[in-house]
Structure 1
Amino acid sequence: MEAISPELALDLLYEEADRIKMLIKNQQNRFCIFQCKAFEEVVDTQMYGLSRQVSFSIRLGIISNETGQQLLGDLERDLNQLYNQAYEENEINMQGKEV
């Protein structure tokens, strides 16, 4: 069995993080992002899964704790930006419907 390089492990973790971001970006119904508990739970579940993968990689010594925390922090920041963007788009759409 071949050893997994830290670079490969980190690439795989970043791919998973990108997949979570795409989940939100691809949500066509922006209103659902704020109103659908099921969508929120899916994102939370995906984030939890990634955090467990990061934790496992850290425990194996494949990536450092700092790298793992940076990956999760960057993802949380990016998700907050996506949520804020969706919120702003939703507000603009709602204001346009009121006029």
Structure 2
Amino acid sequence: MKQAVSKKDALAILQESADSIRQLIGNQKYALCLTDCPAFDDVADTRIYGFSCQVQFAVSCGLLTNDEGEQMVTTLENDLEMIKQEAVDRSAQ
């Protein structure tokens, strides 16, 4: 049984995964003090690593270019950094 996955399908799946990570981390800024919690960085790093493995798999399958994959990971890293900075700014007030 052979199934083909389109680039559009792969991008949708990866985007859903990235959105899930953003939501998970974003929700934590209301439940935890992210600036003082080393567990936040561990969770974020673990989730980014897992996401980067998914992206690398899509690149290896030819569903994404290396540049597209790197851009997806970089965007997620930047988004999580912005969430963390919002928490830092909020705790400083």
Given the two structures, how large is their TM-score scaled by the length of structure 1?
A: 0.84
Q: Superposition pairs for residues 33-44 of structure 1, below 5 Å?
A: 33-44=34-45
Equivalent pairs, count: 91
* SS of aligned partner of 2:50: helix
Question: Tell me, which stretches of 5 or more residues in structure 2 are unaligned?
Answer: none
Match of residue 68 from structure 1: 69
AA at the equivalent of 2:15: Y
Aligned counterparts of 2:40 and 2:52: Cα–Cα separation in 1: 18
RMSD (CA atoms): 1.2
SS in 2 for 1:82: helix
* Structure having the higher Rg: 1
Structure 1, gaps ≥5 residues long: 93-99
Please report how far the alpha carbon of residue 38 of structure 1 lies from its aligned counterpart in structure 2 after TM superposition: 2.4
Q: Secondary structure at the match of 1:26?
A: helix
Paired residues for 1:1-99 under 5 Å: 1-27=2-28, 28-31=30-33, 33-92=34-93
Distance 1:76 1:26 in 2: 16
Q: Distance in 2 between matches of 1:24 and 1:42?
A: 8
CA deviation map 1:3-43 (0-9, x unaligned): 00011101111111111111111112341x12222232122
Deviation at 1:66, TM superposition (A): 1.1
Instruction: State the distance in 1 between where 2:8 and 2:87 align.
Output: 33
Distance 1:37 1:83 in 2: 12
